[in-house]
Every structure is written in C-alpha cells, then in structure tokens.
Structure 1
Amino acid sequence: MKFLASMNKVVLLFFLFISLSIGAQEITVLDADSNEPIMNVAVFNTDKSTTAISDFDGKCDLSLFDKNERITFKHLGYEIYKTTTGQILKRNRKVYLIANSQQLDEVVMSISKWEQQKKDIPQKIISIDAKSIAFTNPQTSADLLQNSGKVFVQKSQLGGGSPMIRGFSTNRLLLSVDGVRMNNAIFRGGNIQNIISIDPYTIKNTEVVFGPGSVIYGSDAIGGVINFFTKKAEFSTTDSLAVMGNANYRYSTANSENTGHFDINLGLKKWAFLTSVTYNDFGDLKMGKHGPDSYLRKNYVQTINGEDVLVPNANDRLQVPTGYNQINVLQKIAFKPNTDWNLNWSNYYSETSDYSRYDRLIRPNGSGDGLRSAEWYYGPQKWFMSNLQFSKNGKGRFYDGLKITTAYQHFEESRVDRGFQNVTRYTTLEKVDALSSNIDFENKRIGDLQLYYGTEYVYNKVHSFGHQKNIETNEIAETASRYPDGSTWQTLAGYLNTEYKAKPNLSLLSGIRYSHVWVNAEFDTNFYQFPFDNADLSTGALTGSIGLSWFPKANLQITANTSTGFRAPNIDDVGKIFDSEPGSVVVPNPDLEPEYAYNVELGVQKNIKDKVMLKGTTFYTYLVDALVRRDFEFNGMTEIEYNGELSNVQAIQNAAKAYVYGFEFGIDATINENISLVSNLTLTQGIEEEEDGTDSPGRHVAPTFGDVHVIWKNQRLKTDLFLNYNGEVSFNDLAVSEQSKDYIYAADANGNPYAPSWYTLNFRSQYVVSNALKTSVSLENITNQRYRSYSSGIVAPGINLILALEYQF
C-alpha cells in the first residue's frame, strides 16, 4: 500500500510538472506604449512551418516551438520583433511590440478626451503622429491634413487651407488644440484659414474624427472634429538637468520657401520647460506647365504714380501676389509635484504678414476686359492662446481621473479691398476674445462599464470696426463694421459618455449632451437702417450617439454608429455684413435656429494573414434647418448700396435641408520587410433641398479623391513614390454659388465652368545620417501638371523640389 501511495504521488507530480511546463509556454503580447494586449499577432519560426496567433487578450501558446528556436512576432501595425522562446520565458513571459510610424493610432483621445483603445471606437478616426508629419514635411497644418490622403483641403490663397470632411467644411467642422476649441463666434460658412496658425513642427499627434462629435465637443462638430495635440514639456528621469531639442530647415522651389525651426526642452524632476520658434517665408507660387490656359496669370494690377494700371505678367505661371511670411512661438511650463498631479501652462502665438486673397484679385470686371479689384488682402492673422491645465490621476470619490482646462484666446483678422481705379480703400478689423473652461472626469469603477462625463463653458466677445480711406487725400472716415461691435456668444453644456465591454470582442459606446447657447448683438443704425435693434437668441440642443465595435473573428472588425450633431447660429450667421460675391451683399438676420444633423455609418476592417489590411466605411448624414445663404429682403428691398455698388441682398437663413452620403476605402499591405503599399479612396455625394422643393449640389462636397503609395524602407532610408488623384466635377455637379465663379474654373465644351480631374506623381525620401541628423528630399508634381483643386482660388504648385534638414540634440 505504501508503495502504491508513493507511486500515486510520483504520477501526480509528473502530471503537475507537465501541466506547469505547458502553461509556462503561454505568453502575453503587449503594446510597448500603452501596455495593452495586442490581438492577431502572428508568431512563426524561420521556415514558417509552425505558426501561432495571439488571442483577444494578447495570449499566445509557444509550446509548438523549441526553447532555443528563433521565432518572429509580426503585426501590421507594429515593428517586427525576433527572439527565442527561452528568452521570453526569462522576461516574465511578456513580449512588447513597438507601433510603427504608419499605425501609431492604437490609443486615441478624441472620442472621450481620455485614452481609449482605437479598436473599441465605433466611429472612423485617423491618427497622424509626429514621425509621419516629419516624413511628409508639410508647409502648413492644412497640408498636414491633405497629406493624409483622407481629408480634402480647399485653398483660396497660399496663406490658407480649409478642410472638407464628408461634405462639410468651415464652421461645420470643429478645430481643437490641446483640448481647447478653436472655433469662435465669427467662424464663417465661407472658407477659413485659422488652421494655418497651428505650427506643424510643434504637433505630437493629430486625430481626425469623421462624422458628428457634438456629444463631446458641442456646437459646430457636424462633419467631424480635428484635434491637434502639441508636444509636451518633458521631465528629467534623473536628478540632473536634461537638455534636448531640435533644429530644422526647409526649402522648396515652387514658392522659394525658407522655413527655420528651433525648439529646446529643459527638464528637471518636477519642472519642465519647452520653447519653440518657427519662421516661414513664402514667395509667390509658381503653377505647373501642363493644363488649362485659363489658369495662367497673364496680367495683374500695379499702382504707378498713383494710378492703377494693368501690366503684363513676365512669367504668366507665377501667381502674383501670393507670398507672405509667418512666425509661430510656443512656450510650455510643466510642474509635477507628485505622481498624481500635473500642472501644464501653455502659451501659443502666431502671426502672419498681410497676404493676398488671390481668388478676388483674378476676378474680371463687368465688361470682362480688366480686373475688378486693385487690392484685396487680409491683414495680419493673429492668434494667441494661454491654456492652463490641471490633471489628477488616482481614485477620487466620483472619478478615477480629473482634468480641468481653462483657456483664454485672442483672435485678430482684417480685410482690405479697393476696386480698380477707385480711390477708396475699405478696411474692416475684427477681434475676438474667447474664454473657456472644461472639467472632464473619467470613472472606471462600475465593473465593465466605464464613464466619462464633464461640463463646458465658453464665452466669446466680438470687437468689429470699419473705415474707409481716400488714397489720394489720405482722408479717413468711419464705415459700417463687418459684425455688431461688442456682440457676445456663449454656451454652457454637460455631457455623459459611456463605454461598456459587453464581451472581450464586443464594445458598446453611447453618449448624451445638452448644450445651451446665448447670442446677443446690438446693431448700429448709423450706416444701415435695420428693421431691428438687436439679436437676442437663447436656444438649446440635445445630442446623442450610440455605436458598437465587434470582432466576430480576431481578424475581422465591424463597427456601426449613429449620432446627432448640431450647430447653433453664431455672430457671423446673425449679424454679418459683407460682399459674398460680385454684386451681392449679405445682411444680418436675427431670426435663426440651430441646424441639426443625423448620421449613420458602418465600417469594416479585414486583416488578411497579417499582410493586408482592408478598410471600408459608408455613411449617410441628413441635415435639417440648414443655415445657408439665400436671397433676402432688407426693409422690403431686394437691392441695397454696399461700398458704392448696388448689390443683391442675401442673408443666412434656415432655408434648406441637405443630405450627404459616401464611401471611404483604404488598404495597407506589407509586401515584405522593406516594401509596403498604402492606398485611400473617398467618394462623396451631397444635395441641398430648398424650401420650394428644388435641389442643388452641396457646396462643400469634395470630388472623388484618392492616393496610392509605394513605400520602401530600411534602417536608414525611407522612400515613398505616390500618386494623388482628384476626379472631375462637371458643371451640373457644381453648387450654384460655384457656377458663378467661372474665373477660377476651366471651361467645358459648352463654355460652362467645371473642375477638371487631375493627378500628380510625387516622390519623397528621408535619410538618417546619424542619430542626430536627418535629411529629406522630395519632388512633388514630377510631371509638372497645372491644376486647381475643386473650389480653390489658387492654382496648385508645379514641379516642386523640397530639401530639409533636421538636427536633434
């Protein structure tokens, strides 16, 4: 009996040893930055005769491999990692993979203002990290978005860039910088240039949310949200002072650009300081050689001995005048008293020189034998923001994370125009002071349910002035301002967002927000006899969203989302007076209501053998009570005199409905360890429905656009040969307001304006000379095409050589 008992113990110990040995072969694959598990990682040996795949929890069984056998970990979004089973077992059975520069978007912040796994998000969202930005080397933040291949950008002049997302643009998209909304009370429906105030050299990451984002961001977030996150001041990891920095130089031939950038970071254990300065100098832009002759700048206006004359352009491909310069300064101070609290004080400043509104300078006069304007330019565009943020980690009574963000912003812009051979120069100047405060909470304590909630208050005050000057006598007289001086716009809101992990492969997200908006404007009757004294609006909006992210298989993701968005009237809608187009003037209208959007979208992502990632999204957005510019009566009149010209009266009105739908496709393919293929394609259609039942194409619906990239890289060199493509917009598909701008479009066979299709072939490269020095060489528009993007005033650059240096210390 004792012998049998002893044998039983031996057998039990043997099976226990076998079980432990097998169990010891299970490892976990984790993201090196977020420490989150990575599913669908392929693990294989040298001849690929044996393969294992990580599951939803990042778990993977390596018992198939010998202890000293060399194995490879491969995932489309991460750098390849090679090791042995024995080495992994010595490291607590964990493998950490580093996200590659093309896929560094596994963790995003734009949906809830807190870090979330991208795989759990039901909305389409893209992330552009600092490495990608450095490789594409954009001139401005508008170009940064355009280089992604997923956002269409319109430009009225060189100093500009107005993104279009899913048929919406300008004040129907929300811009945010480090958690602070940039949209202000005079963001207009026409194309805006505020995005160029954000320095691409200071951006750590950019996230673009497609579709309504009003639950978190409130008014204006109808078509999407564009979040810019700038670099942080970095602390020292030792007791000594840590000094690091960057110096950059960039030159491009198409507009003789010279850009210099310098930043330095000083870090201590509890204090950190980041200083950044960038200066841009852009000359006049030269267009391509092959394309419509109507795009050429054959003559322009010069003032000689006090008289405006039309002079021939010595180089009709040179767009005179388009050049300008700009300076951007960033100063950050960070204080970390302990592991729980962080204090960040950030100050941003941007200022341009005067820059011409090129599309207005090429408008023909009424007879068609000359130009309408002698001068039309924007005065310096200035932006200042001081942003103070407190953040706390660790459990509180009602939260696990707390952020308090308070910010002050000052915006300044002006418009100067003078008709050809007219002695009167008209100037309007606008200033906006904006205060905002956000309190955001994160709570993880209710089982699988995670809560995000918070409040927001925003206050804008608008200062607006107008004057005219006789350029012969220098006599100055006051004229009507663009907006009611002293007008205010403010909003107060509260929101709740939830994320529920129903299963390891199924996440549900939902949210709700209530926003209340107040608008107050007092109208000056010294220049126009308004039939009203003031605009006093008080309106509320309830918005919501619900969506799911489901992995029926580890290599297949399905997302579905429905959401609502809104835009409350702002001062630009309610109180603006300006010339919208030749012979038309927009007047105030205080009787406006918010416009609402209802959106549904469905997305699919398929990973094929960890070599190809296919992505597809379809969406439909319906906009009701749309705020649009339409003909109007002012004191019973359909025409009034504006700046000395009898003009048709228009106003912003809740006069239309609109629907936009489309498809977005993408493919990321890894051919081998050195070569990859990336391609995007976006198709959008949109219609505005008038109150009388007539339809017209949507103004901000981009043409079909896409790109194809063939990327080759090794440890030191990365190259990208790529094709950009835009489809045609025929005359019948142009919005009515665009059909009247025949001076910026080509003419079809019937003489009607249209936007031709175009393509460009391009090449960019980056070479790592050393750990400190990188060089970049790019050649854009290699075939020297002459093209103008849809709705853009300026013609795109022709063949363009770009040289850049980056030095890190």
Structure 2
Amino acid sequence: MNKKLLVMVFFLFSMVYGQQVQVLDADTGEPISNVAIFNDARSKAAISDIDGIADLAIFTTKERITFKHLSYQTRKSSRGQILKQGNRIYMVMKAEQLDEVVMSVSKWEQQKKDIPNKIDVTGARQIEFVNPQTSADLLANTGKVFVQKSQLGGGSPMIRGFATNRLLLSVDGVRMNNAIFRGGNLQNVISIDPFAIHNTEVIFGPGSVIYGSDAIGGVMNFYTKKAEFSSSDSLLVSGHANYRFSSANTENTAHFDFNLGKRKWAFLTSATFNNFGDLTMGKHGPQSYLRTRYVVTGQGEDVLAENDRPRKQVPTGYDQINLMQKISYRPNNTWKYDLGLHYSETSDYSRYDRLIRPNGDNTGLRSAEWYYGPQKWLLGNLQMRKRGKGIFYDGLKISTAYQHFEESRNDRDFGDPVRFTTMEKVDALSANIDFENKKIGDLRLYYGGEYIYNRVSSTGSQFDRVTGGKSGAAARYPDGSTWQTTAGYLNAEYKANPNFTVLAGMRYSHVWIDATFDKTYYPFPFDDADLNNGALTTSVGFSWFPKADFQVTLNGSTGFRAPNIDDVGKIFDSEPGAVVVPNPDLEPEYAYNAELGLYRNFNDKVMLRAATYYTYLVDALVRREFQFNGQTQIDYKGEPSQVLAIQNAAKAFVYGLELGVEAFLSNNFSISSNLTFTEGVEEEEDGSDSPGRHVAPTFGDFHLVWKNQSLKADLFMNYNGSVPYKDLATSERSKDYIYAIDHEGNPYSPSWYTLNFRSQYSISQNLKVSFGLENITNERYRPYSSGIAAAGTNIVMGVGYNF
C-alpha cells in the first residue's frame, strides 16, 4: 500500500512539476521573466513569470518549442529534452542591447539609447569574467579608462585629459570625493571591493548638472550588490565564495557573501581579504626600471643593499580587508528602505615612486622610508525610495550618508633619524532628495537637492628613531577646517518622437570653505581662508535615430570645480627642493564641453561607435611659482625649497577621438576593439603653453572572444603609445627617475603592448573556474606617469562557487 501511494505521489509530482520549466540566464543563473514560449505553428504560447517559471502543459512531449526574449539569443528545445535537463533551460544574453537601462545621468532609470552622453557600462557577468585584482584594474580593463599607479596600492583613473579631483567617484549614488581630494594622483578607488560590485557606469565628459563640483572630466559610478528578497513565503538562502591567485605579486584573495531573503526583509553580508606581495616586473624593457638597490635599516643605520632580484620591486606588497552589509526592508509595493554599510582598510603600503628617487648627486637614494599608513574608509548609507504618484512626483528617493576617511603619510630621508608623519581624517555628511516626474505628456522631469558637509582633521608629528623622542610638526592641512555645499538641479527628458530625444538640465551649487591657519611652524601672512562661491552649470543634448540602425548624439555641457581644502590650505613637499604653500585667494574653475557621437549597427553583426569631443577649461587651478611673505624660497624640513601654490593661473583645452567596434562572426566567436586619442595643452597667463599633465597617451585594446554555454575565452592585446619628451608636462620632466631616457638624454614614456589570455569554465551551474595569463611576452613597461613598473608574465587563477 505504501509503495502504491509513493508511486502515485511521484506520478502526480511529475505531472505537475514536470510540465513546468524555469528559464535562467546562462551566465548568472538568475531567472528571466517575460520569455515568450511558443511552438512552430505559433498556435500554443506561454510566458515566464517573475521567477522565470512557465507551464508547458499545453505542449506535447516531442513538440518543438521556441524560447524568445528581446535581450537573449533564441533557444529551441522540446518538453522531453527539458525534462531530462532538470526542467531548466538556459539562455545566453545578446551581445548588443540598445534598450539597456542606466541610472547615472539622472539618478533614475533611463534607456541608454535616449542619452546623448557617452556612458560605458560594465555588468556583473563581465566583472566576474575579468576577475580584476582591484577596482582600479576593473576600470582599466574596460579599455576606455587610462589608469596611473604610483605604487601597487593605487590606481588613479584618467578620463579625457582629466584626473584626480577633476573626476568624480560615487558608490551607490553617494559622492566619494571629499575636501582633501588632491590634484596629485589618488588611490581612493582601491577602497571599493570589486567582488561587491554589481555594475559600473562611467560618464565621459562633464557631469556637474547632476553631481556638482569635481565632475569635469567624467563620473565613475559603482553600484554594489543588493540584498535579494524571496518571491515566496520560504526563506531565500544564496551566496558566493571566491578565491583568486596571481603569480606576479603572489596575491591571495578570498571572498564570500551570503544573502538571506524573505518577502519583506533581506540581508546581504560580504567580506573580502587580500594579501599582495612585492610585484615582479617584466623581463624585456628599459634597464632603468630595474630595482637594483633598496634601503635596509638596522641598528640605527641606513644601508644601501643590492637587490639580487632586480625585477622584484621592493617594497610594494600590502594587505586589505573589505566588508559590506546590506539590509533592505520592503513593507509594500510603494516603499523600500535600504541600509548599506561599507568598510575598507589597508595595511601600511609604500609609495614606491618616492623610494626610487635618487639623492642629489645620484650616488644613492633620497628616502629611507616613504609609506602611507592604513587607508581607511567607512560609509553608512540609508536610502528611502517611494514609487507611485504624488502631487509633484512619480518617484521619490531620499538618501543620507556618513563617511569617514583616514590616511597618513610617513617619510624619512636616507641617513636622517627623524621620520615626519602627517595624519588626515575627514568626516563627511550628505543628504540628497531626488524626484522623478513624468506627468507632462512626453516630457519627463528629474529634479532634486543636495547638501554635503566635510570636516577635516589634520595633525603633524616627527619621531626620532635614535632617541625615541616624539614632537609636533606642521600639519598638512588647517586642522578643523570645513567644506560644505548645497545645490538644486532640474533635468528634463523630452521625447519629441520615438526616434528623437532631447535631454537638458541645469544646476546651481554654492560652496563654502572655512579654514584657520596655525602659525606655530610657518608665519602665514593670513589668518584664515573664508571662501564663498556659487556656480551655475547647464547641459543640453539630443539622441537621434535617423534609421533604426544608426544613432547620432550631440551634447553640450558645462562643468565646474570649486576649490577645496587641499587647494586652499595644503603645505607639503611636491618634489625635492620645492614646497607647496596655502593660497586662500582662489575661485572655481569652469569647463565648457561639446561632444558628438555616432553609432551604427550592421544587422546585429557589426557595431561601430565613435565619439569626438572638445573641452575648454578656464581659471584652471594649477600649481605655479608663488611668493610666501615676499620670498620665493623658504626652508622646509631643513632644505631650501622653491615656493609653489595652487592658483587660478591657466587655461586648458583638451580634445580627442574615441573609437570602438564589436563584430559577431558567429554565435560563438566575436571580436572587439577600443582606441582612444587625446591631446591637451595648458595655456599660461603670459601666453606660453605646455602639455597637459593628465593627458593620457594613445591607448587601446583588441579582443578575440570565443564563448559557448560552458566556456568563455578571450585572447587580447593592450596597447599604449609613447609620450616623447616634448609632449611631457613640465612637472613630469623633473621626474626622470620614473621614465626611460631617450637618445638625447631626456626622459620619455615609451610605447608598449601586452598579449594576454583569460578564460572561464563552468564545471556546473554552481561551480566556475578561471585561468588567465597576462603579459605573455614578459614585457617590462611603466604606464605613462606611473611610478611602479607593471607586472611581468602573470598567471591568474580563480575559482567561484554559487549556492
């Protein structure tokens, strides 16, 4: 009796559930909703629900069934075959999606095809395949963003001739730029965990209408993974575990995240641990890049030691930990609350480019120690979102955030017992309110307001390693200084017809700085800096499809950057024999930009993209010669030093061309390539000019990609053009120790290319392994303006498990 009952239950279970299929994404395993399912005669049809599930009861066992979705390649199968495959069918996403949705331009979802700005999107499946070491490497792997590195623990993006505090970073919509983001190279992007990123959106060109100050050259938005709700009453449990190894710096990285979801509550916990060893450079290249000597300190004495492995860049290794916690609450279909907590901390890490500086007579090294203390970043972000019609909106988002930044600099000259330390901390508060309104016919409005407050804590000290004595020293910034801004913006999208969309916007921002200078160590000729500046920025552009497969975009915009505490109040050594001093008499710099874009799709087989732009920067904040109390030289750390300061002393223009191609030669084989040309010049007040410091050399990539449902492989080349001496910025020419030397004895940046391979194989739907071989020909090279040579031949292996 029990056996008969068991057979009947099994039969009924097979009848009910054997007629259902779940449609899943072949790369991510996520369910696909709204998949059309029909037979050859189109006389029977079904559609998948939000969980990707559809009922196939109307189809016979051997009947041919088609699965079709706008974003995926069409699949065909039969009910019998699907049953053998566990009632699951996997679909592969199409390579090109014109209906892709982005959020960066208005902070609300918009069709990418309607936006006149150039935006590069890197999604979760591509991030997983690229498997980057840091978020800086993730940007570099797009082939559209140039990344400079002064040390292994770094990565400073350059976009369209601008970098550092002229680019804006944001995480989940929260501005990461703070009051001490400097004009020199920045490392803050490495605080963002690449394993926690769901997708990135990079806006090329000014984004000040939405993001305010600093968004002159572009905006880099990182959107992290979200906590997932359950679609049923049962508890949803899922997660990922990953391990990554790279041979060039004996990297060991471990990551895990897990998600618990109910219908109304969801929790996501993520953690990543990195251990990076000293980086080994390539074998074939300039001899001057080799690390032949380094400083060893013992028993109170600095000694130059010979490096028996001169390709090993000693010291460059460091450790890092990243933690993230997401909590989401959805009481109904109208409201949603999201709490995000992020924490990142590195160990001490050396600034390698300072450790290879020669001393004055080139007989030794200038520094015995030069390292950053732990770089810490904490972000707490509470977002409330309302969907549904209000009096003045159809969507509402309120976001409040607190961030804490901490960093320090520690340096000691060779043979000098005194180590100088400066410690900086920034507490940042922000509040945003954003509205979406689409009530007025074909006009869609986005508007909102923002308030940001930064407080800077800065201290200085000196430590005598012989006597053990510790005393005070000049701080890097005015301690207790504040930077704050408030703004309001309005953005409008007007769809004149299905093929023509106009996007226009304006924003007014006001910025205040309050800083009091400590005259204990330097007799400043002023007591404080009290800046009060406003800026109006605008943008207007259109996206036009004269034919379904041809798109033209045109965009004009303005951007601005208000002086921050780093511009107004910094005192530090920029290079041997030069010191930067405060300058409280600064005004914002403004950028005017025009951009033309073209896109052509040839039968979904070949896609061509091109964009050209011109940006003009006025009242540019640049470092130039200055006088301090009427003197052009002052004593700094016991050395006579030329006085420099940030000033509104130049104009600049940058122009360029960006090209891209994708070609799909078959269902499995494709090629893609990107190429970027940039030119830029800074014009001085006296009429002279010089090359722009952050104008990257010509760079590009070329990929050959093969893919089926289990394996994806990519053979690719990265390329960088040369920067001859005549095109080096004046500030770069003095750093001859990081450059190669040409036949005339002048520093320059040589061209280089690397041949690389990466692959990912799905052993099962849950288990994936990856293998990569970078710089196969073992080239020795330094990307432009970088202080550290890149990795030589590098084996990269990874394994990931989803549950």
Normalising to structure 2: TM-score of the pair? 0.90
2:290 aligns with 296
Pick aligned residue for 1:506 from 475, 480, 500: 500
**Alignment pair present for 1:788 and 2:748:** no
Counterpart contact for 2:35–2:67, Cα < 8 Å: no
Counterpart contact for 1:101–1:129, Cα < 8 Å: no
**Alignment pair present for 1:348 and 2:342:** yes
Residue-by-residue CA offset, 1:406-430 (whole Å, 9 max, x unaligned): 0000000000000000011000000
SS of corresponding position for 2:136: helix
**Residues 1:82 and 1:682: Cα distance change in structure 2 (over 3 Å):** farther
Q: Residues 76-91 of structure 1: matches in 2 within 5 Å?
A: 78-81=72-75
1:797 aligns with 791
Alignment-mate amino acid for residue 719 of structure 1:
A
Counterpart contact for 2:319–2:347, Cα < 8 Å: yes
Counterpart contact for 2:403–2:429, Cα < 8 Å: yes
* Alpha-carbon separation, structure 2, partners of 1:645 and 1:477: 19
1:446 aligns with 440
**Alignment pair present for 1:698 and 2:692:** yes
2:262 aligns with 268
Counterpart contact for 1:689–1:696, Cα < 8 Å: yes
C-alpha displacement at 1:130, in angstroms? 1.1
1:170 aligns with 164
2:181 aligns with 187
Residue-by-residue CA offset, 1:122-149 (whole Å, 9 max, x unaligned): 0000100111011001000000000000
* Alpha-carbon separation, structure 2, partners of 1:189 and 1:377: 19
Pick aligned residue for 2:523 from 519, 529, 534: 529
Residue-by-residue CA offset, 1:86-140 (whole Å, 9 max, x unaligned): xxxxxxxxxx997447769810000000000000000000100111011001000
**Alignment pair present for 1:316 and 2:271:** no
**Alignment pair present for 1:284 and 2:278:** yes
Counterpart contact for 1:679–1:707, Cα < 8 Å: yes
Residue-by-residue CA offset, 1:207-244 (whole Å, 9 max, x unaligned): 00000000000000000000000000111111121110
Alignment-mate amino acid for residue 469 of structure 2:
E
1:23 aligns with none
C-alpha displacement at 1:304, in angstroms? 2.1
C-alpha displacement at 1:79, in angstroms? 3.0
Counterpart contact for 2:148–2:784, Cα < 8 Å: yes
* Alpha-carbon separation, structure 1, partners of 2:307 and 2:298: 15
Residue-by-residue CA offset, 1:738-790 (whole Å, 9 max, x unaligned): 00000000000101000000000000000000111000000000000000000
Pick aligned residue for 1:110 from 104, 119, 140: 104
1:417 aligns with 411
2:576 aligns with 582
Pick aligned residue for 1:157 from 151, 154, 166: 151
Pick aligned residue for 1:401 from 395, 404, 409: 395
* Alpha-carbon separation, structure 1, partners of 2:125 and 2:157: 22
Counterpart contact for 2:491–2:504, Cα < 8 Å: yes
Pick aligned residue for 1:666 from 648, 660, 680: 660
Pick aligned residue for 2:596 from 588, 594, 602: 602
* Alpha-carbon separation, structure 2, partners of 1:102 and 1:328: 33
* Alpha-carbon separation, structure 2, partners of 1:133 and 1:257: 18
SS of corresponding position for 2:631: coil
* Alpha-carbon separation, structure 1, partners of 2:66 and 2:598: 31
Counterpart contact for 1:640–1:649, Cα < 8 Å: yes
Q: Residues 131-150 of structure 1: matches in 2 within 5 Å?
A: 131-150=125-144
Counterpart contact for 2:417–2:466, Cα < 8 Å: yes
Counterpart contact for 2:64–2:76, Cα < 8 Å: no
* Alpha-carbon separation, structure 2, partners of 1:73 and 1:591: 63
Q: Residues 233-632 of structure 1: matches in 2 within 5 Å?
A: 233-632=227-626
Residue-by-residue CA offset, 1:696-755 (whole Å, 9 max, x unaligned): 000000000000000001110000000000000000000000000000000001010000
**Residues 1:37 and 1:628: Cα distance change in structure 2 (over 3 Å):** farther
C-alpha displacement at 1:269, in angstroms? 1.1
Counterpart contact for 2:99–2:113, Cα < 8 Å: no
SS of corresponding position for 1:269: coil
Alignment-mate amino acid for residue 529 of structure 2:
A
* Alpha-carbon separation, structure 2, partners of 1:761 and 1:351: 33
Q: Residues 770-785 of structure 1: matches in 2 within 5 Å?
A: 770-785=764-779
* Alpha-carbon separation, structure 1, partners of 2:243 and 2:95: 22
Alignment-mate amino acid for residue 447 of structure 2:
Y
Counterpart contact for 1:33–1:98, Cα < 8 Å: no
Alignment-mate amino acid for residue 729 of structure 1:
V
Counterpart contact for 2:567–2:646, Cα < 8 Å: yes
Identity between Structure 1 and Structure 2 (%): 69
Counterpart contact for 2:98–2:112, Cα < 8 Å: no
Report the more deviating stretch, 637-646 or 774-783: 637-646
SS of corresponding position for 2:726: helix
2:86 aligns with none
**Alignment pair present for 1:749 and 2:743:** yes
Alignment-mate amino acid for residue 750 of structure 1:
E
Report the more deviating stretch, 358-367 or 232-241: 232-241
* Alpha-carbon separation, structure 2, partners of 1:466 and 1:399: 50
Residue-by-residue CA offset, 1:561-592 (whole Å, 9 max, x unaligned): 00000000000000000111111000000000
* Alpha-carbon separation, structure 2, partners of 1:283 and 1:238: 46
**Residues 1:759 and 1:806: Cα distance change in structure 2 (over 3 Å):** same
SS of corresponding position for 1:148: coil
C-alpha displacement at 1:73, in angstroms? 7.1
Runs (4+) of structure 1 exceeding 6 A deviation are 32-38, 68-75
Pick aligned residue for 1:686 from 680, 685, 688: 680
**Residues 1:676 and 1:785: Cα distance change in structure 2 (over 3 Å):** same
The total of aligned residue pairs comes to 740
Counterpart contact for 2:35–2:69, Cα < 8 Å: no
2:761 aligns with 767
Counterpart contact for 1:459–1:491, Cα < 8 Å: yes
* Alpha-carbon separation, structure 2, partners of 1:310 and 1:251: 32
Structure 1 gap segments, 5+ residues each = 1-31, 39-44, 46-67, 85-95
Counterpart contact for 2:34–2:69, Cα < 8 Å: no
Alignment-mate amino acid for residue 270 of structure 1:
K
Counterpart contact for 1:101–1:131, Cα < 8 Å: no
Cα RMSD after superposing both structures:
2.1
* Alpha-carbon separation, structure 2, partners of 1:437 and 1:261: 31
**Residues 1:323 and 1:712: Cα distance change in structure 2 (over 3 Å):** same
